[in-house]
Structure 1
Amino acid sequence: MLSLNNISLSFGGEPLLQEVNALINPGDRIGLVGPNGAGKSTLLKIIAGEVVPNEGTIKKSQAATIGYLPQDGVDPDPNRTVYEEVESAFADIRKLEKKVQETQQKISNMDTGSSEYKKTMEQLGKYQSKLEQSGAYTLQSDIEKVLMGLGFSTDDFKRMTTEFSGGWLMRIALAKLLLQRPMYLLLDEPTNHLDIDSLRWIEQFLQNYEGAVILVSHDKAFLNKITNRTLALDHGKLLDYAGNYDYYREKHAERMEHRRKAYENQQKQIKEIQDFIDKFRYNASKAAQVQSRIKQLEKMDKIELDEREEEITFEFPPPERSGAIVMKLENVRKQYGDNVVFEDLSYTIDRQDKIAVVGPNGAGKSTLIRIMAGIEEATNGKREPGHNVTTSYFAQHQADELDLEKTVFEIMREADPHAKETRLRTILGCFLFQGDDVFKKVSVLSGGEKSRLALARMLLRPANFLIFDEPTNHLDMQSKRILQQALEQYEGTFMIVSHDRDFLDPIVDKVLEVRPQTTNTFLGNVSYYLEKVEEREKEDDDNRDTPSNGQNNGLSRKEERRIAAQKRQEKYNQLKPLKKKIAPLEEEIEQLESRKNEIEEEMAEPDFYDDEEQVKEISMEYEKLKAELVEIYAEWEELAMEISEIEEEFASK
């Protein structure tokens, strides 16, 4: 178990964490929640040992291992490929493999009857047992499985880490962490850089994870699927809820209602006491009672309501009515060098369509909406906006285009010079800029704060076609709810690239799936789309398991190729650990056979038997070699039989 004991931390004299206590069990699935700035990331860093608290301790067993994924700032080796970078997390396994090889080499030159031989054989057995327990024999297939689950293709394995963006570097770091399987896995916003396919994969991985998982995430659906316990940071204190995020919200609402009632009762009591003090302050006969009540007020533990609990709402200005067709793409081709993203793509967006754009990263989602927004031109084909269509576009990179010398408020004022100050402040408040935060210069804002400001600025501009690229990545739960509610009431048309199902489900009525060289449209929300994807995958599995008897069972050539690729991958995954085991055996057999031949040549010499001591020594070595070869050949034949059976099994499919 891992325990947090009276953890306290202050920054600049302001308390962030106050006497935090928690007990984390090996199988716990914990969601760590709270508003931005509550200290969630800091608490994870304390548990990981990266930040030292002012007071308190973290206690864990000596055998406990902790793995931590930060929100950003990972720094892989630029001289490694993706596969090499992930494999570098297992340097201890590679050292152990080397020890096994060295010990085997040492044994081959030892007297089988010596005590040293027996001792070394025992040591080799321990090394081999440890190596087997470490997962060394399946390491390569495990690495490939996790990388592919996180969205990397097999071609990506050999590419240098420097070829990938920050989001993909985070996936590499996540892959290393998941493969190491620490006893306590700490993940800070792991879904920010995932697409919907890899998000589904990691959900399944974490549901089957053997250790404890502690998640910080603003993805409500993700938290609900993974967690069974919630730790909530509230004014520096840590509150424990025995359920997932929905359970926490229900119990938290009840707690807030109790606090509100207690606050109202206390305010009533304070007023009565203050009224008595004001009435009899100058009455000598009541002086003692007045002083008693003054002390009562001073000692009273005041209940405060969290201003963050207040409901903030935001509404888009009513957009001008557009034509029935908002946007039409005809026979669009888009390529970068030799990479063709789209070929002969045609798509029409109608007025009041509410579209979620989903699909694996790299398939062209962002490229498609940039073409829609007119930010990027198609290589060939036609983009035709509808009548009276005004477009407003948001993407994360816009944060880098903000004027660093202007304040947050000046950025907003510049976007809409005629807006009232109260409206500007309300919108900024929706995106976590409150009080004096609005007077901060852009130059001092974090990357997340700049993204929120760019989104707030975009929402000021009246438009009837809104296009968003991952708008929720840096929003907390409350900010997402505000944006979600505003989009629910919005009368125009919008497209959103996002993997956040809980955010998208209530506001979209159409899903555009973008995959390499193809698009598909589903009339429904994201949950409906995921149901259809699961049905499609199940149907594919059923078709794969059904013998074709030389026929394609109505499958398209594309589906046949995909199923064939899956078969090849399955065959590869099953054969790889066996081939990895058989390779060193074949190498050892070759060495032993070579030495055996040398001895036989020596024994064939006429003067060989003149030296009795030499005859005895070489004869013992010869018998030992033959015995070892019998043993190794038996092991080799067993593995060769397994390989043959697997190859026959796949050949018959």
Structure 2
Amino acid sequence: MKIEIKNLNFSFDTLDQPIFRHTNLNIDTTWRLGLIGRNGRGKTTFLNLLMQKYPYEGDIICDIDFVYFPQTILNKKNLTYYAIEEIMDLELWKLERECQLLSLDKEILWQPFEQLSGGEQTKILLAAIFCEESKYPLLDEPTNHLDINSRKIVSEYLKRKKGYIVVSHDRHFIDEVVDHIIVIEKNQLNTFKGNFSTYEKQKQLQDQYEIEQNNQIKVEIERLKKTSKEKANWALKRERNSGNDAFENARAARMMKKSKVIEKRMLSKIEEKTKLLKNIESVDSLTINCLFNHRDPVLRAKNFSLAFNDRLLFKPITCEIYQGEQVALVGPNGSGKTTLLNYIINSNFYGTINGELTIPQGITKSIIRQHYNDNEGILKDFATAHHLDYTLLLQNLRILGVERDVFRIPIEKMSYGQMKKVEFSKSLGTPAEFFIWDEPLNYLDIFNQKQIKSMIEQFKPTLLFVEHDQSFIANIASKIIEINPY
């Protein structure tokens, strides 16, 4: 079946620019489609338009019903099966079958939904989506709350399915589970056959071609401007030198008139050439305020672990982190990664501390947290409260793709993605010797990740981070510390 989009126009009243303008697209529902684009460009909005949740101009023609992930559970205290049955029409045997394909024990269907881990909740909701076989799945960030192993399981699961649209900021995941790409660029939707890596290569070639064409057109425009100016100056000079000679005056007038015609023709050509110039999007570089000194290592652990009620959270670790290293802390969900980071940040822990962990006294730290609901107020006051360079804060937010009209909104009223970028920019602008980031890529798009990768390669900050994105770890980490549940 087909989904046909004709002359789609859509805009929010609060935005200066439309999200989509005169957009046309044809989608085959057997494609495994990845939907990508910079934050704020309309990925979730596009899914909502397909489901007819917003009024729009144009036509969206299709004969299928859609089912959206993540679903909203109304009663999280209810047993998982009944909590899902309350919002979806499904059969138990089908849900058990899909759970098995996702390596879930079917017994979790009879546990309260709120007691499941974030990863289990994600997988059980995915299982429920694919029970509704007559509907077309729209999957919005299915990798949220999943560790590396769970992402592999979900990836293998989706490879068995045929026909869906998936939004994800995990490049490796997208490469694994799609055979076509929809890209949101400049108020338009464009399709490419292949995965994200295929699209990226094609886009680089296309951009390079357009850059070369732009350069040629700009040279031609300058030549036309120069010719026009020379003709006008020559005619003006003849007019001034004509004196009182009637014949020369008439001749100069004709030359001036002719020069005006030539100038008009040149301006018309310049306008035509200017219309051919492509608006190629360029991405500026992020700036990080990292400091270096003579103190090394910045962290040393020897047989170190944390415990609650005499039960270790993870097996003891021994490691060192030196200045200029980018260290990934990896381990399955629930192994204590965030708890360990929090202890490194502020030395607060209400259980038992085993072994040794030392950090040079007075070392300056800059953090990115998983939860940052305490960030609030307008950006200027926020910068003052956190001793940040206000201009640098806005610069990094703009580079990360936050539109200028958002700068006037209190942080607590921003979208999740915008709030994350405030937290990220705060860390970048905080002068520090040691950066500690807990899942920094959450809510950041693939294009942001490239910016962050380039920044880290350029500045080489001393960094300890937790992240589940395999591509990011492979490209960024100079060292890996693995922690395992005890």
Normalised to the residue count of structure 2, the TM-score between the two structures is 0.82
Question: Residue 366 of structure 2: which of 385, 392, 417 is its match?
Answer: 392
Paired residues for 1:67-78 under 5 Å = 67-69=67-69, 74-78=72-76
Paired residues for 1:224-235 under 5 Å = 224-235=175-186
**Aligned 8 A contact 1:314 1:483 in 2:** no
- 1:184-213 CA-partner distances (Å, limit 9, x unpaired): 32212221222112101010011111x212
Change (3 A) 1:231 1:299: same
Secondary structure of the structure 1 residue equivalent to 2:62: strand
CA distance in structure 1 between the aligned counterparts of 2:327 and 2:213, rounded to whole angstroms: 45
Question: Residue 480 of structure 1: which of 442, 449, 459 is its match?
Answer: 449
**Aligned 8 A contact 2:100 2:106 in 1:** no
Measured after TM superposition, the shift of residue 263 of structure 1 is 2.0
The one-letter amino acid of 2:433's match is N
Measured after TM superposition, the shift of residue 498 of structure 1 is 1.1
**Aligned 8 A contact 1:233 1:239 in 2:** yes
Change (3 A) 1:30 1:139: closer
CA distance in structure 2 between the aligned counterparts of 1:429 and 1:366, rounded to whole angstroms: 29
The one-letter amino acid of 1:385's match is T
Secondary structure of the structure 2 residue equivalent to 1:401: coil
CA distance in structure 1 between the aligned counterparts of 2:387 and 2:276, rounded to whole angstroms: 40
Matched, 1:243 2:194: yes
The one-letter amino acid of 1:216's match is V
The one-letter amino acid of 1:271's match is E
**Aligned 8 A contact 2:32 2:177 in 1:** yes
The one-letter amino acid of 1:496's match is F
Question: Residue 436 of structure 2: which of 467, 473, 476 is its match?
Answer: 467
Change (3 A) 1:339 1:295: farther
Paired residues for 1:9-88 under 5 Å = 9-11=9-11, 12=13, 14-60=17-63, 64-69=64-69, 74-78=72-76, 80-88=78-86
CA distance in structure 2 between the aligned counterparts of 1:166 and 1:384, rounded to whole angstroms: 29
Change (3 A) 1:294 1:354: closer
Change (3 A) 1:310 1:394: closer
**Aligned 8 A contact 2:287 2:428 in 1:** no
The one-letter amino acid of 1:31's match is G
Higher percent of residues as helix? 1
Measured after TM superposition, the shift of residue 470 of structure 1 is 0.8
Matched, 1:372 2:348: no
| Corresponding residue number in structure 2 for 1:355 | 327
| Corresponding residue number in structure 2 for 1:321 | 294
Change (3 A) 1:321 1:411: farther
**Aligned 8 A contact 2:7 2:21 in 1:** yes
- 1:403-452 CA-partner distances (Å, limit 9, x unpaired): 32x32x543455445x584x444433332235454454324321221111
The one-letter amino acid of 2:346's match is G
Matched, 1:269 2:220: yes
Paired residues for 1:287-306 under 5 Å = 287-298=260-271, 302-306=275-279
Secondary structure of the structure 2 residue equivalent to 1:454: helix
CA distance in structure 2 between the aligned counterparts of 1:471 and 1:327, rounded to whole angstroms: 23
**Aligned 8 A contact 1:197 1:359 in 2:** no
Question: Residue 141 of structure 1: which of 96, 102, 118 is its match?
Answer: 96
| Corresponding residue number in structure 2 for 1:649 | none
Secondary structure of the structure 1 residue equivalent to 2:96: helix
Change (3 A) 1:20 1:377: same
Measured after TM superposition, the shift of residue 168 of structure 1 is 6.3
Q: List runs of 5+ in structure 1 lacking aligned partners.
A: 94-135, 518-653
| Corresponding residue number in structure 1 for 2:464 | 495
CA distance in structure 1 between the aligned counterparts of 2:228 and 2:119, rounded to whole angstroms: 62
Paired residues for 1:159-198 under 5 Å = 159-163=111-115, 170-182=122-134, 184-198=136-150
CA distance in structure 2 between the aligned counterparts of 1:82 and 1:228, rounded to whole angstroms: 33
Change (3 A) 1:185 1:482: same
- 1:606-638 CA-partner distances (Å, limit 9, x unpaired): xxxxxxxxxxxxxxxxxxxxxxxxxxxxxxxxx
- 1:233-277 CA-partner distances (Å, limit 9, x unpaired): 221222222221111111111111122222222223333444455
CA distance in structure 2 between the aligned counterparts of 1:92 and 1:243, rounded to whole angstroms: 33
Measured after TM superposition, the shift of residue 469 of structure 1 is 1.0
Change (3 A) 1:435 1:15: closer
Change (3 A) 1:304 1:287: closer
Measured after TM superposition, the shift of residue 280 of structure 1 is 5.3
The one-letter amino acid of 2:156's match is Q
CA distance in structure 1 between the aligned counterparts of 2:458 and 2:271, rounded to whole angstroms: 48
**Aligned 8 A contact 1:358 1:497 in 2:** yes
Let me know the Cα RMSD of the aligned residues: 3.3
CA distance in structure 2 between the aligned counterparts of 1:304 and 1:32, rounded to whole angstroms: 27
**Aligned 8 A contact 2:9 2:18 in 1:** yes
Percent of aligned pairs with the same amino acid: 21
Q: List runs of 5+ in structure 2 lacking aligned partners.
A: 237-255
Change (3 A) 1:267 1:36: same
**Aligned 8 A contact 2:437 2:465 in 1:** yes
Change (3 A) 1:475 1:364: same
The one-letter amino acid of 2:96's match is S
Measured after TM superposition, the shift of residue 395 of structure 1 is 0.9
CA distance in structure 2 between the aligned counterparts of 1:92 and 1:498, rounded to whole angstroms: 34
**Aligned 8 A contact 1:316 1:486 in 2:** no
CA distance in structure 1 between the aligned counterparts of 2:134 and 2:344, rounded to whole angstroms: 44
Secondary structure of the structure 2 residue equivalent to 1:397: coil
Paired residues for 1:110-121 under 5 Å = none
**Aligned 8 A contact 1:5 1:19 in 2:** no
- 1:21-61 CA-partner distances (Å, limit 9, x unpaired): 3333343122222222222222222223333431122223x
Change (3 A) 1:329 1:83: farther
The one-letter amino acid of 1:206's match is L
**Aligned 8 A contact 2:147 2:332 in 1:** yes
Paired residues for 1:395-414 under 5 Å = 395-398=369-372, 400-404=373-377, 406-407=378-379, 409-412=380-383, 414=385
The one-letter amino acid of 1:27's match is T
CA distance in structure 2 between the aligned counterparts of 1:317 and 1:21, rounded to whole angstroms: 46
Secondary structure of the structure 1 residue equivalent to 2:9: strand
CA distance in structure 2 between the aligned counterparts of 1:385 and 1:504, rounded to whole angstroms: 25
CA distance in structure 2 between the aligned counterparts of 1:307 and 1:434, rounded to whole angstroms: 18
Measured after TM superposition, the shift of residue 508 of structure 1 is 1.3
The one-letter amino acid of 1:270's match is I
**Aligned 8 A contact 2:376 2:410 in 1:** no
The one-letter amino acid of 2:327's match is I
Paired residues for 1:601-620 under 5 Å = none
